[in-house]
Chain A
Amino acid sequence: MQLLSIRSMEERIKFLVAKFNSGELSAVEKAELQRLVEDYPSMVSAEITDLLYASESNSELPAAVDQHKWNKVLGKILAVDRHLTVKKSPVKIYLKWIAVAAVLALVIAVVLRIQTGGKNKDSFATDIAPGGNRATLTLANGKKISLNEIAEGELIREAGLSISKAANGQLIYHIEKNTSTADDTGVNVISTPNGGEWQIRLPDGSSVWLNAASSLEYPINIGSTTLRKVKLKGEAYFEVAKDSKHPFIVETAEQKLEVLGTHFNVNSYADENLTKTTLLEGSIRISEIINPAASEILKPGQESVLSATGIRIKDVDTDESISWKNGYFMFNNEKQESILRKIARWYNVKVEYADEEAKDVMYYGTVSRFDKISQVLRKFEQTGEVRFDIDKNKITVYKK
């Protein structure tokens, strides 16, 4: 390799970077550029900056800025160093009950003080780690694979598909080009335990984030069927690959949801009485399974709530419904009882109430999903309304 002057080195880099930008690099040039990137990163970066300045005067008019997308990105950026906290919701309180509760609280406090010797700081007997990536994949032949135990890049082969685990854990389906007679009519099921979550990319290119205690059943040939129908228990966030010729259908216990190509969240746990569907982008049609004629169309920013009395639609803060996927618990005037059900699924604990009134305390705020449970519960305690005891995997809730 001859010695090149800095000037001609810059020109060479400029030439190669421009070719990379227009997608015309040959294999040999690619190898050369790779080496230059390793050896002279600042020069390569400078050439990229030049290209950027040059692109300012592009004759192509920039497309309209997608505010929705960029607001999401901005939201993510600004949230990393935001301070998360929980505040008690200002709610109408019935005076009669305050008086009674206050008296009770006083009595209990006195009794406790005597017993515990006036110890003010609670110390949790045990602490519990948050959930993480845990899931089981059941293949068409019934074989179960524990996904957290297989290595990154490892392939599972079934019926003309190979399933690999990407670096971040996401399960990706690939269609193998050279398939023999493949029987691809079976279903796969991916399920998460309490304390588990997982992300998967289905054979049709749709991405699904599964929350704790949930399961998703889908046909292996979903990439080529007329209808892309999946069955969900629990909660999942979907980014459905656009394909208007092949509607995507999500079935839960009570609800059927039809999609063309969109991003939405479905919350349908058996121990919650409602099926909530929140739409972020696109358009979906919701109907009750027992009453398919009555259907509703959802627009972005709306949430449908399906209960025994039918379907109700309202405008919501979509960030709240997908906060779990972004690593938070976010609540907006939510009751302690409902919040603790979510916490129970994620930390795999049981919740018991020593005082029924504790169930009704309402909160708004945000808490990280990746803290240990003691840190999360302490934030609630700091509002002065409730107190917790942790014993092994049982949480007991007291009203202060």
Chain B
Amino acid sequence: MTRRFGSIVAVDDVSFEVARGEIFAFLGPNGAGKTTTIRMLTTLLQPSSGQIELDGLDIVREPTAARRRFGIVFQDSSLDFELTARENLVIHAVLYHVPAAERAPRIERLLRLFDLWERRDDIVKRFSGGMRRRLEIARCLLHTPAVIFLDEPTLGLDPQTRNQLWTHVRTLNEQEQVTVFLTTHYMDEAERVAGRLAVIDHGRIVAQGTPQELKEQTGSDSLEQAFLKLTGTQIRDDDGGAGKDRMRQFVRGGAAR
């Protein structure tokens, strides 16, 4: 896939495959084209050219059907803080056409799985950051997607919560064969959790493979070291959304319907 914004090529002929049931990490420095790629993968942006296939569906041609096949946990919370945990899940179930008879059982199962059943009727506003993240992951699984996208899922969480989260994700991945596509800046986590990964920089894939392969390829002891060798040590400033705003001018009407 390729994506241009005017004369800027944010994503330049990026190509990769993720196998069913894989945990795949998508890494890259700020401004590398990571977010743009993910937005294209999740039907929030149309590629300028290229083809995206998810669970056998052409995303660009059938975005609505594709949306039923994946779940996403955004970096910024997309919960309604004024509603309870259960109410949030019910909304999701309705939006994703979960059959009415299945809603309550699935909601209960997922809330119990993520240790949130006791707090099901509590307003989300009162949840801790870790609990909210767990709720969001529980929510994205409600419609039994084939793939889940996790955008920086452990950002800002303490080690215990992070550990618990990954345990849950790995269990789900093993038990239900849910494919996991994640992004993270925590290289140690990517190394531990991901089966395969890709590194994007300046809009292009600069490396692809297992963590071990990347380490060997760059002669590094850790994935973090490999990453720094691949993308350089120069700081890429997060432009605080200014670049995003600039891109926004070009993106009006660019989302896949």
A-B interaction? no
Query: Taking beta carbons and an 8 Å cutoff, which residues of A are in contact with B?
Result: none
